[in-house]
Every structure is written in C-alpha cells, then in structure tokens.
C-alpha cells in the first residue's frame, strides 16, 4: 500500500492512504495558491489543525457535500457539529485508531480563534501513523518548540513544515525543526501564498539537504509525493501495537 500526499497550496494537504481520502485544512476559496476547488476535492475525513480562516477554509461546504467526518480539537468539533457536520473530537497528546490510521494530535504554538470569533481551543499538529506504520508529521501553524525532539523520537518518515515566517516558523527555525525531527522526507508549506510569507523555498531546500540527511520535496500546488512502505513494515507494526 502506498501513501500519497498532495499539496494544494498554502496548508492544504490531501492524503490517500488505505483506500481513504484524508483532507487537511481545506482553505480553497480565497486561497490565491489553491490548485483545486471545494466542489471537486475528495474527502472521507477532514482534519482541521486550528480555527483560523486559512485552515478551517471550506471545511463546512466540503463535509456537507462528501459526508466526511471532521477530526479536530473539542472546541472546533463543537462548532462544526452545530453546523450539522459529523465530527470526532480529540485533544493534544491523544491518539485514536481511525480507519485510515492512528492519528495523534500534537502541540503547536499558535492561535486558534474561529472565523466568527468563537473559541477555537488550542491549535494542534498532526502525527499520523498509517496502516503500514509510516509516520507522517504535519506540524500545522506553529513556531519552533523544543518538544519536536519528542516527536522526532517516534521516527518520522515525512514532516510537513511551515516555512513562511511572520505567522509561523520561518526558514531558519524550520531548519532547526528538521534537525530535531530527523525526518527522511520534508515538504515545506505555508509560504508564498501572500507577500508577507514569501520565501525562497529552493534555497531552503538546499540548506536543509546540506545540513541534514532529509530529502526535501518542493511541490508546486497540485503536485504529489508518494511514499512506498518498507516491505514487512505493516506486519511489524501489527506485532507492536504499543509502539504505534
């Protein structure tokens, strides 16, 4: 089974794993970098990292059309449920075995107020262990924090990190994040959507590859990365439920 992740611009990610479509932070309407429209995108589950408009985006419309379950913190879950959506609430440090894999919410240093001013709880990052045992860390909007060491201890196959600066980590701190996380692969996101977060991602990629062993994948909006599982990894994962 392969794992495919598509970057649709800004912080929008679409994952295909285990036969499921998992959409993350679907901000498409109003997103100058969006490479798909809300009426076309597939979703069985929608993960929302925090309440800001450039992450909640078109979640309500897409979930109503597709019937997707929205997975997010308890405060945003309550807000989504009040709009008639199916939700699954989790919180930081908590993991759950969803049909597409084991999803744990992680710390993120940021804000989370919802677009209408409602309390969006705490922002989160996402740590997904696929059914094959691949570990995908999607940091969400966050500043650098030392506990990325703890996340790195889990053995990260792919890290998706913001590099835009101003609202989140910039390139220098994102490089420090890669050094703490030690992922095999990195995708940068949350940059160059707007002038205030414009960055030279190619220069960043060169520096990361010079100073770490991570491989950087510079996707254009709409492009995908596919990771093949290590043979035997799924069997290994199934034998070690506590570890995964």
Interacting residues with Mn ion (CB under 5 A): 54, 141
Q: How far is the CB of 27 from Mn ion (least distance, A)?
A: 8
Shorter beta-carbon distance to Mn ion: residue 57 or 152: 57
Q: SS3 sequence, the chain?
A: CCEEEEECCCCCEEEEECCEEEEECCCCCCCCCCCCCCCCCCCCEEECCCCCHHHHCCHHHHHHHHCCEEEEEHHHHHHHHCCCCEEEEECECCEEEECCEEEEEEECCCCCCCCCCCCCCCCEEEEEEECCCCEEEECCCCCCCCCHHHHHCCCCCEEEEECCCCCCCCHHHHHHHHHHHCCCEEEEECCCCCHHHCCCHHHHHHHHHHHCCCEECCCCCCCEEEECCCCCHHHHHHHCCCCC
Shorter beta-carbon distance to Mn ion: residue 38 or 164: 164
Residues comprising the chain, all counted: 244
Identify the residue among 5, 15, 31, 52 touching Ni ion (CB under 5 A): 52
Choose among Ni ion, Mn ion, none what residue 25 binds, the Cβ cut-off being 5 to 8 Å by kind.
none
Torsions phi, psi of 62, nearest 5?
-70, -40
Q: How far is the CB of 196 from Ni ion (least distance, A)?
A: 13
Shorter beta-carbon distance to Ni ion: residue 58 or 141: 141
Q: How far is the CB of 149 from Mn ion (least distance, A)?
A: 24
Q: How far is the CB of 209 from Ni ion (least distance, A)?
A: 28
Q: How far is the CB of 166 from Mn ion (least distance, A)?
A: 10
Q: Applying CB under 5 A, does 98 fall inside the site for Ni ion?
A: no
- Binding residues for Ni ion, how many (CB under 5 A)? 2
Q: What does the alpha-carbon distance between residue 26 and residue 36 come to, in Å, rounded to a whole number?
A: 10
Q: Which stretch binds Ni ion (CB under 5 A): 61-69, 135-143, 199-207, 218-226?
A: 135-143
Closest residue to Ni ion in the complex (CB): 52
Shorter beta-carbon distance to Mn ion: residue 132 or 141: 141
Shorter beta-carbon distance to Ni ion: residue 197 or 227: 197
Give residues 141-170 in contact with Ni ion (rule: CB under 5 A): 141
Shorter beta-carbon distance to Mn ion: residue 112 or 130: 112
Applying CB under 5 A, the residues found at the interface with Ni ion are 52, 141
């Amino acid at each position: 089974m392969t794992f495919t992740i598509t970057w649709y611009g800004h912080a929008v990610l679409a994952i295909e794993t285990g036969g499921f479509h998992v959409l993350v932070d679907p901000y498409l309407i109003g997103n100058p970098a969006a490479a798909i429209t809300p009426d076309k995108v597939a979703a069985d589950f929608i993960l929302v990292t925090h309440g800001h408009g450039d992450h909640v985006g078109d979640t309500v419309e897409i979930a109503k059309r597709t019937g997707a379950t929205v997975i997010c913190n308890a405060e945003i879950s309550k807000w989504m449920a009040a709009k008639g959506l199916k939700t699954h609430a989790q919180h930081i440090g908590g993991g759950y075995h969803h049909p597409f894999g084991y999803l744990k919410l992680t710390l993120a240093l940021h804000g989370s107020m919802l677009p209408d001013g409602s309390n969006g709880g705490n922002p989160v990052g996402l740590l997904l262990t696929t059914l094959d045992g691949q570990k995908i860390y999607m940091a969400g909007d966050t500043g650098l924090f030392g506990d990325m060491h703890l996340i790195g201890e889990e053995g990260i196959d792919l890290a998706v990190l913001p590099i835009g600066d101003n609202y989140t980590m910039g390139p220098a701190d994102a490089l420090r994040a890669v050094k703490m996380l030690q992922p095999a692969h990195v995708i940068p996101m949350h940059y160059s959507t707007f002038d205030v977060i414009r960055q030279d991602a190619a220069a960043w990629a060169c520096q990361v590859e010079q100073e770490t062993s991570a491989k950087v994948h510079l996707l254009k909006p709409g492009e995908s990365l596919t990771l093949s599982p290590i043979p035997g990894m799924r069997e290994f994962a199934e034998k070690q439920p506590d570890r995964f």
